[in-house]
Amino acid sequence: MARSLGAYLVLPRPGDAIKWWIFPLGFGLGVALHRGVDSQVLVRAAVAWALLELLIYQARYQWNDIRGFAADQRHPDAAKRGRLPGPIEHGPRNIAASWAMIALRLGLAATVAVSVGSLQLATPVFVLALAVFSIAGAYEVVRSLATGRDGAGIPEMTPAIVGVWLVVGGGYAVRAVGGLAFALELGDRPGLLAACIIASWAFGVAFVTGRWSLESLAFARLEGARVRWSASADQAREHTLALARWLPEEVASAQGGLDRWQPLLRRTSLGAPWNLALVVSGASAAVAGRLLVGREVGLGLGVAAMLGGVLAAVVALAGARRPLLVALSAAALAASFNALGSPRAVLAAVPWVAVGAAHAWFSAQSLATLGHPLRVMRARRDRRTGAVDAVRAVT
């Protein structure tokens, strides 16, 4: 069922609430390093988090939906995706309402940041908004260059399409580093800052390209057990359809159709963008963890990067066993850090664990569960129930 314009304007992207954990994770790591936090720091971070996710980011999403309005109306899952509502003949009215709400959201964010003077939020909130919209501007530019030109099957990769994949990770860096910056002074720790930016940015690339590969299934059909993709150029989906080249070509079971298919539970090529980005993120997250607990340089950081990258590759190639491999790899990483003399080795492993666990969770999704994480749990429960019923039927 399509959303009403009013519901959309209140919260444009409720499905993206799945990303709201990233800022608190960054903040929590900084708090854990300090072994505590006073109430003012906590309130300051909480208000900044609310302004970022409910006002700044929602305004950014509205801008994206305005630019993509015509293509979104032609999407086969337009009603389910919940973008700026149509129909297309109501575009001028709905777009104008969305622009007004963007102005209201950003004005409210600025008013709150300035008016609560005791929290000293004006500068950090301005920096967050500037970062969000700078990355958004870069994304809109490369996306316009990458899409609207090829609608036949799986498009060829172009520099513009790869550019879209690389730019999309920036928002995750804003969230993670923003949260950490509200708990730690990062200005005198450039190594930690760089490692956190790379780890969270690469994680964003892994998450979004994996998610887009699933979204490409809206443009797919089954021919027997084989999957075929097609879209028209005016649907502007080359950046998602190009990812389909790394998905399995055949569906092992068509039960539930493509909506219920979980292709990322199968082993995909290490060269797939989501797997390459995961390796980079894992390596950088391990380095960031070591730097969080100590000002280490040299060989220790090199070993951490190697361990984090190798273990991330193991998780990427693990298929359905990813949750188990994440747990075992996390224990191995913490034990290795401890053996290398790292203080608070368990805390040092947390950034890598967050990257690995989030990837294991998101890769278990299907087109039907995107934006609805609880459906993943129900799907797993249904598979277990089905397996038990099959055994009982045999016995």
Same domain assignment for residues 356 and 270: yes
> Once rounded to an integer, what is the mean pLDDT over residues 135-152?
86
Point out the least confidently predicted range of 16-20, 185-189, 333-337: 185-189
At 46 the pLDDT is: 96
Question: 82-132 pLDDT, tens per residue?
Answer: 899 988 899 999 999 999 999 999 999 999 999 988 899 999 999 999 999
Same domain assignment for residues 178 and 326: no
Q: What is the 3-state secondary structure (H, E, C) of the chain?
A: CCCCHHHHHHCCCHHHHHHCCHHHHHHHHHHHHHCCCCHHHHHHHHHHHHHHHHHHHHHHHHHHHHHCHHHHHCCCCHHHHCCCCCCHHHHHHHHHHHHHHHHHHHHHHHHHHHHCHHHCCHHHHHHHHHHHHHHHHHHHHHHHHHCCCCCCCCCCCCHHHHHHHHHCCHHHHHHHHHHHHCCCCCCCCHHHHHHHHHHHHHHHHHHHHHHHHHHHHHHEEEECCEEEECCCHHHCCHHHHHHHHHCCCECCCCCCCHHHCCHHHCCCCCCCHHHHHHHHHHHHHHHHHHHHHCCCCCHHHHHHHHHHHHHHHHHHCCHHHHHHHHHHHHHHHHHHHHHCCCCCHHHHHHHHHHHHHHHHHHCCCCCCCCCCCHHHHHHHHHHHHHHHHHHHHHC
Contact 109, 126 (CB under 8 A): no
Residue 203 lies in a domain: no
Same domain assignment for residues 23 and 170: yes
Same domain assignment for residues 307 and 346: yes
Residue 220 lies in a domain: no
Residue 21 lies in a domain: yes
Percent of all residues in the chain with a pLDDT value above 90, rounded to a whole number: 59
Confidence of residue 151 (pLDDT cuts 50, 70, 90): low
Looking at 184, 203, 232, the residue that finishes a domain is 184
> Once rounded to an integer, what is the mean pLDDT over residues 205-217?
93
In degrees and rounded to multiples of 5, residue 75 shows phi and psi of -70, 135
Token digits of residue 262: 């979980």
Residue 208 lies in a domain: no
Same domain assignment for residues 50 and 163: yes
Alpha-carbon distance of 25 to 49, in angstroms, equals: 11
Based on the structure, what is the number of domains in the chain? 3
Point out the least confidently predicted range of 38-42, 195-199, 286-290: 38-42
At 3 the pLDDT is: 85
Kindly report the average pLDDT of the chain as a whole number. 88
- Give the domain extent around 41: 12-184
Nearest CA among 75, 72, 17, 94 for reference residue 49:
17
Confidence of residue 394 (pLDDT cuts 50, 70, 90): very low
Token digits of residue 80: 């389910």
Same domain assignment for residues 170 and 298: no
Tell the burial category of 307 from Cβ atoms under 10 Å away from its Cβ (0-12, 13-18, 19+).
buried
At 39 the pLDDT is: 87
Residue 253 lies in a domain: no
At 393 the pLDDT is: 44
Looking at 132, 152, 184, the residue that finishes a domain is 184
Same domain assignment for residues 334 and 381: no
Same domain assignment for residues 332 and 373: no
Nearest CA among 354, 368, 381 for reference residue 80:
368
Claim: this prediction has a pTM higher than 0.85: yes
Q: Specify the amino acid at residue 385.
A: T
Res. 167: pLDDT tops 60: yes
Residue 254 lies in a domain: no
> Once rounded to an integer, what is the mean pLDDT over residues 294-317?
89
| Whole-number CA gyration radius for the chain | 22
Residue 302 lies in a domain: yes
Same domain assignment for residues 46 and 176: yes
Which residues, at least 6 apart from 41, have a Cβ–Cβ distance to it below 8 Å?
Answer: 182, 183
Token digits of residue 281: 């993120």
> Once rounded to an integer, what is the mean pLDDT over residues 177-200?
92
At 377 the pLDDT is: 47
At 117 the pLDDT is: 81
Which residues, at least 6 apart from 2, have a Cβ–Cβ distance to it below 8 Å?
Answer: 78, 79, 85, 86
Looking at 136, 165, 184, the residue that finishes a domain is 184
Token digits of residue 378: 């129900």
Residue 379 lies in a domain: yes
Res. 1: pLDDT tops 70: no
